[in-house]
Amino acid sequence: MREPSGIKHFDALIGGGFPKDSTILLIGPPGVGKSIFCEQVLNRGVEAKEKCIFVTFDTRPEAIRESMKHFGWRTNGNMTFLDCFSWRIGSGCNSMYAIDGLSDLNQLNMVFTDLLRDMGKSDKRLVADSISTLFLYSDPRMVPLFLHDFIAKSNSTDSTVFLTLEEGVHDSKIVSTLNFLTDGLIEMRFEEDKRYLRISKMKDTAHDRVWIEYEVTSHGIVLKI
């Protein structure tokens, strides 16, 4: 089975959509559009009445809602946030799922487990943006082990997972480890004033590893094909 992305022209490149219950890693520099890509994918899930989970490490859930609203995308109904950011700014959290720090990954693991239990075993889309923050605030040696369990738990409850990683922040060993843990890899880059992406790998999918230009429009990401 395939999960449509909601991104114009993208699904034709990967056999109709992402493999169900797979984990996709998006790598690129800040501002290239990784978060927008993930928001657009979640919007498609909301439209399909799938349960959607956003694990936010770098901004408050309210800011994500505003960002999605800017593109005309809905967050009401099937969207649930796990707030891993508000503790950093000493701000209150409106989400029922939140943590009070990242130095101890056990708390995050427990809250995430509770969230998955409450969501039940049904088709879900899950975004964690950005896992680079985990490496900054947690023991870098423990993060890959945590992510291994995080991915296994998610996929076992019928979740298709999207992880974002900041380019140029991590050494090659970490990137290789994350590439090993995931089923798909999408690279994104700037070239002068243009944006490009390529599908470097995708489980059970025939695809070309070519760079394709895309634009961020008022309706989200659109591939120039």
Q: Where are the domains of the chain?
A: 21-186
Which pLDDT does position 92 carry in this prediction?
A: 64
Chain center to CA of 156: 17
How far is Cα 210 from Cα 220, in angstroms, rounded to an integer? 21
- State pLDDT tens for residues 20-30: 999 999 999 99
Q: Which pTM was predicted?
A: 0.95
Which pLDDT does position 174 carry in this prediction?
A: 94
pLDDT higher than threshold 90 for residue 94: no
Which pLDDT does position 167 carry in this prediction?
A: 95
- State pLDDT tens for residues 156-213: 999 999 999 999 999 999 999 999 999 999 999 999 999 999 999 999 998 999 999 9
pLDDT higher than threshold 90 for residue 120: no
Peptide bond into 159 cis (omega under 30): no
Architecture of domain 21-186: 3-Layer(aba) Sandwich (3.40)
Q: Burial, 159: exposed, middle or buried (Cβ in 10 Å; 0-12, 13-18, 19+)?
A: buried
Instruction: Please name the helix (run of DSSP H) or strand (run of DSSP E) that holds residue 172, with its range, or none.
Output: helix 172-181
Which pLDDT does position 225 carry in this prediction?
A: 86
Q: How many CB atoms lie within 10 A of CB 56?
A: 23
- State pLDDT tens for residues 30-75: 999 999 999 999 999 999 999 999 999 999 999 999 999 999 997 7
Is the Cβ–Cβ distance between 201 and 185 less than 8 Å?
A: yes
The sign one gets for the Cα dihedral 47, 4, 149, 131 is negative
For the chain, what is the radius of gyration of the CA atoms? 16
How far is Cα 10 from Cα 146, in angstroms, rounded to an integer? 30
Q: How many CB atoms lie within 10 A of CB 155?
A: 17
More confident residue, 8 or 166: 166
- State pLDDT tens for residues 99-118: 989 988 999 999 999 999 99
More confident residue, 39 or 121: 39
Tokens 């900041």 sit on residue: 166
pLDDT higher than threshold 80 for residue 76: no
Q: State residue 146 phi and psi, 5-degree precision.
A: -60, -45
Q: Burial, 68: exposed, middle or buried (Cβ in 10 Å; 0-12, 13-18, 19+)?
A: buried
Among 25-29, 75-79, 89-93, name the most confident range. 25-29
pLDDT higher than threshold 70 for residue 93: no
- Mapped onto helix, strand or coil, the DSSP state of residue 207 is coil
DSSP state string for 138-162: S-TTTHHHHHHHHHHHHHHTTEEEE
